């Protein structure tokens, strides 16, 4: 026996080393045909592919990613017509390899602008640095250059972020609105659609979640107008920066999703977190976490029940790295994983809703039997294809991922000598983007 130990180690090691023994949100999300995503911040670029908790939590749970800051204007075009693609390239390459989509955030916003643009305002008022014509060509160049580079790599774009004032239902007088005029909004969508006709294009804002609110209704009316002018817009992004005990109106959100659906538009959840008052958390953390889990459960249920809400993204995933305590210091604990990357009750409430839903939709079995051949040998499963496989994952029926390979080859060997006799699910993402699922 002793002499077989190294061999045994060699066979079992890949399963343990690459194994994802935790549950996986994206396993069920893929079955339900919904995108579950997270924002990733600066730490992502130090952690990816390290196999550490940060990396594995992202890899295992999310099928769409968005950069928290790294694809904003100041990061991507720090000086006029001089672009920095480094981080966006890293994020899109990682997403491609691991079979995830990317949301681009964002192309036009009043905030996080580089000084060469924000210098065009003095005390918030346009100071004549730019004419309408020059600012239009700057904006068009920014959108066209970035979107063209990421065709097929970024599937959704926040073309326009936060164009509405907090109150009054009016348009924010950003530099774009002041120098170009209100028609900058139609223009950015037209330029974006020309740059990448395959991308989904969104107008994204906060405080617009609940039907009946002044800002929510203003956005709905504005977007209806865009639709009637045939502006190419896919839908709206509802940021959903929520508080556990406060601004949470399920029926208002449901009504909002439905009225956008009636216009033929998506209404998706783009920056969700459910923050908790620190003093409430200290008083009774169990109660707060369970209330938070119920908020998250109701929100994912709304998306599952509304056909135009098939993207559900949180603004970060671990309480270790969240913008909330920096932005609103009285609050924290807003995300799905705690500071040790342990899943919180909110995580399990989402997982459970997805698992229940996936029973309804069922699993599509392989339909192109000739594309992939699976052989079960004594101690391994051999997967063979004419095309190269970008990512190969093996799951058990509970959705635990037992093996993953991202070797980009046409033959994958999965050690199987410690697998029980049971039903397993093989999921392949081919290099050509096709997803193949086989139960055996
Ligand atoms: C936030 C980031 O999370 C912070 O790190 C940054 O300092 C400020 O911006 N709405 C948006 C996001 O559209 O871009 C914001 O992100 C959060 C609010």
CA-CA distance, 426 to 383, in Å (whole number)?
A: 9
* CATH code, 425: 2.60.40.10
Domain that holds residue 396: 366-439
Q: What is the 68 CA–ligand 1 centroid distance (Å)? A: 6
Residue 427 confidence class, pLDDT cut points 50, 70, 90: confident
* Residue 1, domain member (yes or no): no
Facing residues of 200 across strands? 156
Task: Provide the CB-side half-sphere exposure for 45 (13 A, CA).
Answer: 14
Q: Which of 362, 385, 403 is the last residue of a domain?
A: 362
Mark whether 406 is an active-site residue. no
Pocket of ligand 1 (CB under 6 A): 68-69, 161, 239, 271, 323
Q: What is the mean pLDDT of residues 282-302?
A: 98
Which of 110, 161, 164, 323 has most ligand 1 atoms within 8 Å of its beta carbon, as the pocket-test mutant?
323
pLDDT at 361: 61
| pTM of this structure | 0.82
Verify that 345 and 392 share a domain, yes or no.
Answer: no
Verify that 344 and 387 share a domain, yes or no.
Answer: no
Q: Which atom of ligand 1 is nearest to the CA of 206?
A: 10
Choice among 77, 162, 209, 357 that is catalytic: 162
Do 218 and 250 contact (CB within 8 A), yes or no? no
Asked if residue 151 has pLDDT above 50, the reply is yes
Express each pLDDT in 258-269 by its tens digit: 999 999 999 999
* Residue 255, domain member (yes or no): yes
Verify that 80 and 166 share a domain, yes or no.
Answer: yes
Verify that 145 and 229 share a domain, yes or no.
Answer: yes
Q: What is the 220 CA–ligand 1 centroid distance (Å)? A: 23
Buried b or exposed e, range 32-41, using 16+ CB within 10 angstroms: bebbbbbbbb
Verify that 180 and 272 share a domain, yes or no.
Answer: yes
Verify that 63 and 47 share a domain, yes or no.
Answer: yes
Verify that 246 and 148 share a domain, yes or no.
Answer: yes
Place of tokens 């991308």: 199
Choice among 68, 209, 271, 353 that is catalytic: 271
pLDDT at 365: 45
**Tally of domains in the chain:** 2
Verify that 373 and 357 share a domain, yes or no.
Answer: no
pLDDT at 324: 98
Q: Which of 308, 334, 362 is the last residue of a domain?
A: 362
Q: Which atom of ligand 1 is nearest to the CA of 105?
A: 14
Q: Which of 362, 391, 411 is the last residue of a domain?
A: 362
Residue 379 confidence class, pLDDT cut points 50, 70, 90: confident
Express each pLDDT in 207-232 by its tens digit: 999 999 999 999 999 999 999 999 99
Mark whether 271 is an active-site residue. yes
CA 221 to chain centre: 26
Name, in order, each residue with C-beta under 8 angstroms of 152's C-beta and a sequence gap of 6 or more. 198
Do 300 and 351 contact (CB within 8 A), yes or no? no
Nearest CA to ligand 1 atom 13: 161
* Residue 203, domain member (yes or no): yes
Beta-carbon count within 10 A of 326 CB = 8
Verify that 353 and 373 share a domain, yes or no.
Answer: no
* Residue 2, domain member (yes or no): no
* Residue 433, domain member (yes or no): yes
Nearest CA to ligand 1 atom 7: 323
* CATH code, 272: 3.20.20.80
Verify that 180 and 321 share a domain, yes or no.
Answer: yes
Lowest mean pLDDT among 58-62, 186-190, 425-429: 425-429
Verify that 391 and 253 share a domain, yes or no.
Answer: no
Asked if residue 422 has pLDDT above 80, the reply is no
Verify that 419 and 402 share a domain, yes or no.
Answer: yes
CA-CA distance, 247 to 414, in Å (whole number)?
A: 48
* Residue 13, domain member (yes or no): yes
């Amino acid at each position: 026996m002793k002499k077989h130990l190294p061999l045994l180690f060699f066979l079992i090691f890949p399963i343990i080393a690459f194994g994802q023994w935790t549950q996986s949100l994206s396993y069920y999300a893929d079955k339900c045909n919904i995108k579950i995503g997270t924002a990733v911040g600066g730490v992502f670029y130090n952690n990816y592919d390290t196999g550490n908790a940060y990396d594995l939590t992202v890899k295992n749970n999310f099928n769409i990613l968005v950069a928290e800051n790294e694809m904003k204007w100041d990061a991507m075009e720090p000086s006029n017509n001089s672009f920095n693609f480094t981080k966006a390239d890293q994020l899109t390459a990682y997403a491609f390899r691991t079979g995830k989509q990317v949301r681009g955030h964002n192309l036009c916003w009043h905030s996080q602008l580089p000084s060469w643009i924000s210098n065009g305002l003095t005390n918030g008022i346009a100071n004549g640095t730019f004419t309408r014509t020059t600012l239009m060509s700057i904006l068009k160049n920014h959108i066209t250059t970035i979107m063209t580079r990421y065709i097929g790599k970024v599937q959704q774009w926040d073309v326009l972020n936060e164009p509405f004032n907090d109150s009054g239902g009016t348009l924010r007088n950003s530099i774009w609105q002041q120098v170009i005029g209100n028609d900058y909004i139609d223009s950015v969508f037209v330029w974006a659609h020309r740059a990448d006709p395959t991308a989904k294009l969104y107008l994204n804002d906060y405080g617009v979640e609940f039907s009946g609110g002044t800002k929510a209704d203003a956005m709905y009316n504005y977007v209806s107008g865009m639709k009637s002018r045939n502006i190419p817009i896919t839908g709206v992004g509802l940021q959903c920066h929520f508080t556990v005990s406060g601004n949470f109106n399920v029926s208002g959100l449901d009504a909002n999703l439905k009225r956008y659906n009636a216009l033929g538009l998506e209404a998706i959840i783009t920056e969700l977190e459910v923050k908790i008052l620190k003093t409430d958390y200290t008083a009774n953390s169990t109660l707060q976490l369970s209330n938070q889990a119920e908020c998250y459960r109701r929100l994912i249920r709304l998306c599952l029940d509304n056909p135009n809400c098939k993207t559900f993204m949180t603004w970060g995933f671990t309480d270790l790295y969240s913008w909330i305590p920096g932005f609103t210091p009285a609050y924290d604990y807003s995300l799905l994983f705690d500071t040790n990357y342990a899943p919180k009750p909110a995580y399990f409430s989402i997982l459970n809703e997805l698992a229940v839903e996936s029973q309804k939709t069922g699993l599509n079995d392989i339909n192109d039997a000739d594309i992939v051949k699976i052989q079960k040998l004594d101690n391994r499963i051999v997967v063979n294809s004419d095309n190269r496989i970008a990512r190969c994952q093996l799951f058990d029926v509970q959705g635990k991922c037992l093996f993953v390979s991202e070797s980009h080859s046409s033959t994958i060997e999965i050690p199987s000598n410690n697998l029980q006799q049971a039903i397993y699910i093989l999921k392949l993402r081919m290099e050509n983007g096709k997803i193949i699922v086989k139960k055996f």
